[in-house]
A and B are shown apart, each in its own frame.
Chain A
Amino acid sequence: MKKTRVATVWLDGCSGCHMSFLDMDERILEIAPKIELVYSPLVDNKEFPEDVDVTIVEGAVSSEEDLHKIQKIRARTKILVALGDCAVTSNVPGMRNPFDTQAVLARAYLENAQENQHVPTDVIPPLLKRVRPINEVVKVDVFVPGCPPSADAIFFVVSELLEGRLPDLSERVKFG
């Protein structure tokens, strides 16, 4: 049987969703043989590959880099899964949205900096005016809210996708 090509991506999030993914514990062993993990923060791979069957995205779209990344991912992915509140609602990263980007940078790098007060220009990518949930930028096929989503929910989603079904989460909605 051909393995399902799966990628996981970490945009603006805390990695908690990836942790929760790992919390599936021994059930990962059930899934592992059926998938080929082609890209992930968990594996070392620089360029996002072509022809991915399922991409699971954690985090919101906050920077220019995130924006380019998610657009490329969308173009190369059959089924895009928004995993966790940051990806679905923009969540904590989105807390800066009511404020001006400059004001946010100033608060972080000038007002609250003990030393070396300056706004970095080359280490961090340019920020978007607004942090966006993924579906405000590209089409999303499956939404798995939760902060983080439970390992059970993730297992359900992945299992369904591997069976070739779009998971119906309407009974399992959970925010926060």
Chain B
Amino acid sequence: MMLEALRKIAEEHRAAHPPTAKTLKVCVAAGCVSCQSDQVKKALEAAAKKGGADSPIIVKGVGCLGLCAQGPLVISEPGATLYRQVKPEDAAELAAATKHEPVKRLVAPANQVFYSRQQRIVTENFDRIDPEKIEDYIAADGYLALLTTLTTRSPAQTIDELIKSGLRGRGGGGYPTGLKWSTVAKASGSEKYIICNADEGDPGAFMDRSVLESDPHRILEGMALAGYAVGAQRGYIYVRAEYPIAVKRLKLAISQAEKMKLLGPSIGGSSFQFTIEVRLGAGAFVCGEETALIASIEGKRGTPRPRPPFPAESGLWGKPTLINNVETFANIATILRNGGDWYAGFGTEKSRGTKVFALAGRINNTGLIEVPMGITLREIIYDIGGGIPGGRRFKAVQTGGPSGGCIPEQFLDMPVEYESLAKVGSIMGSGGMIVMDETSCMVDVAKFFMEFCKSESCGKCVPCRVGTAQMYDLLCKISEGRATLDDLALLEDLCDTVKHTSLCGLGQTAPNPVLSTLRFFRHEYLAHIEEQRCPAGVCKMCIPQEIHR
């Protein structure tokens, strides 16, 4: 497809769907689908039909609307009224209400701040487009960046734009994306690969999933742009098989894009060709690690290998490979459409742009949010998140999942940036954010994450294979009031060894939840050890039974 034809589709589609049209948008991402939003959508369609041709109502599926815990969610336009916990029985009432006042009992309580404090780039289309319709994406300026870049920028200029944007990898490490692209672009050899890491395995994380389900074309466009910039012709999306809706929509999106010649040979009339394949992962957390992921695509057992060499040099089938996270790719098209300087205008000096978080735990508004970097934890938790339920006291916020740490109250006014989070012993991670209040025991939290690491360790290297199991046993001992101070010293020693000697990031970061809780909540460990007491009242003490007969 040529640029002109693309523009035409966009205009036609926009004309057919003016913002003034009465529209009911139903979230069709996993959270709402799991509480029957597809039934709600069917019921709304039926109700709209009954309404007759004189006052047409458009019913459409859209992406994740953020307040996932209150689904099924429906937005009524014009007016952007947000309805929550909608049931199929409510359909007729909602359809009728498009002409009158909103249905009060279903309107979500004033969530002004929840939305107004957010900044949408990655999620800009979530409430706008039907993820299964390529025309919707095109009408939202989709594929514009791809076709204009192909004709107006050289690969080097494309990478320059990305460097200017200051974008850093959203898969956890925060490696500068422009730098990674230019390394792969410079790597010798004509055969190169692009991989989109959609293995998202952190417990409680669903940022990438939401992007894939809500706006799949955005990923395809980002990957194609990457292919153009680094000189690759093939891309793989590695998705966990536990995301069936994402897989289905990705496959649909790929076939739609191929049909419109936005993927495949000579894209946009240029000499650039690019194809994308979906590969399924079996849900091993470690397969999100880039070298394990590559081994898995190659059909081998998904275990990491030592780096260097890095994938940029020797990746898939030993060829230079660019691997980026879903959210990283989701930023690309918007950056190239609006320019690197525009993007760099959001966030802070070292952490540009926005970040998507999955807010969970002891907080009023759980769900998916996108915020500008540099926002404080307090704003996220108390403004957007609506604070802690039940008037209980905040204790800590966990970021970075099993590789991250717990941040206590005294740092609530700290800006959310890669460096500042690292300074207090946590990490940005991929976007999990779990809020804990006074009823959470920090030893128990550390134990939970260690159990996760222990069972997700691939078992290849000794320190992680044995160390995580030993640390888990020690944490059990502590939480049950059976431990001594010597056990605590041993735990700290093992943390040090496992962190510094493990082969891959899983083992290297597995001690982090322990180290960070020890740093800020050592008194809780000591209460378990010296007084056989769990201050939060979570852990059950257990008198040792040495003798058996």
Contacts and interface: CB of A to CB of B under 8 A. Distances in A.
Nearest to B544: A129
Nearest to B546: A128
B546 A127 contact: no
A128 B548 CA distance: 6
Interface string A111-132: 0000000000000001111000
Please indicate which of the listed interface residues A67, A126, A129 has the most CB atoms of chain B within 10 Å of its own CB. A129
A160 to B, nearest CB: 26
A51 interface: no
A129 B548 CA distance: 5
A11 B548 CA distance: 18
Interface string B528-549: 0000000000000000011111
Interface string A131-165: 00000000000000000000000000000000000
A4 interface: no
Interface in A68-102: 101-102
A110 to B, nearest CB: 15
Contacts of A102: 548-549
Contacts of A127: 547-549
Contacts of B546: 67, 128-129
A168 interface: no
Nearest to A132: B546
A102 to B, nearest CB: 8
Q: How large is the interface on B (under 10, 10 to 19, 20 to 34, 35 or more residues)?
A: under 10
Nearest to B486: A139
A64 B547 CA distance: 7
Contacts, number: 20
A102 B546 CA distance: 14
A67 B547 CA distance: 10
A127 B547 CA distance: 6
A127 B548 CA distance: 6
A11 to B, nearest CB: 15
A128 to B, nearest CB: 6
Contacts of A128: 546-548
Contacts of A67: 546-547
Nearest to B549: A126
A127 B549 CA distance: 7
B39 to A, nearest CB: 52
Contacts of A126: 547-549
Contacts of B545: 129
A25 B547 CA distance: 40
B340 to A, nearest CB: 59
Interface in A44-75: 64, 67
Interface in B498-549: 545-549
B521 to A, nearest CB: 28
B118 to A, nearest CB: 54
A80 to B, nearest CB: 16
Please indicate which of the listed interface residues B546, B548, B549 has the most CB atoms of chain A within 10 Å of its own CB. B549
B432 to A, nearest CB: 38
A20 B548 CA distance: 33
A6 B547 CA distance: 30
A85 B305 CA distance: 36
A137 to B, nearest CB: 9
A129 B547 CA distance: 6
Nearest to A67: B546
B369 to A, nearest CB: 49
B441 to A, nearest CB: 27
Nearest to A126: B549
Contacts of B548: 101-102, 126-129
Contacts of B547: 64, 67, 126-129
A126 B548 CA distance: 7
Contacts of A101: 548-549
A128 B545 CA distance: 9
A73 to B, nearest CB: 17
A129 B549 CA distance: 8
Contacts of B549: 101-102, 126-127
Nearest to A121: B549
B281 to A, nearest CB: 34
A64 B545 CA distance: 12
A103 to B, nearest CB: 11
B470 to A, nearest CB: 13
Nearest to A64: B547
Contacts of A129: 545-548
A43 to B, nearest CB: 30
A126 B545 CA distance: 13
B503 to A, nearest CB: 27
A118 to B, nearest CB: 14
A176 to B, nearest CB: 21
B70 to A, nearest CB: 50
A126 B549 CA distance: 6
A140 to B, nearest CB: 13
B516 to A, nearest CB: 29
Nearest to A127: B549
B484 to A, nearest CB: 11
A18 B546 CA distance: 28
Contacts of A64: 547
A28 to B, nearest CB: 36
A101 B545 CA distance: 13
B549 to A, nearest CB: 4
A102 B549 CA distance: 7
13 contacts: A64-B547, A67-B546, A67-B547, A101-B548, A102-B548, A126-B547, A126-B549, A127-B548, A127-B549, A128-B546, A128-B547, A129-B546, A129-B547
Given A101-B549, A129-B546, A129-B548, 5 more contacts: A102-B549, A126-B548, A127-B547, A128-B546, A128-B547
Ranked nearest first, the 8 interchain pairs of A and B with the lowest CB-CB distance are: A129-B548, A126-B549, A101-B548, A64-B547, A126-B547, A128-B546, A128-B547, A127-B549
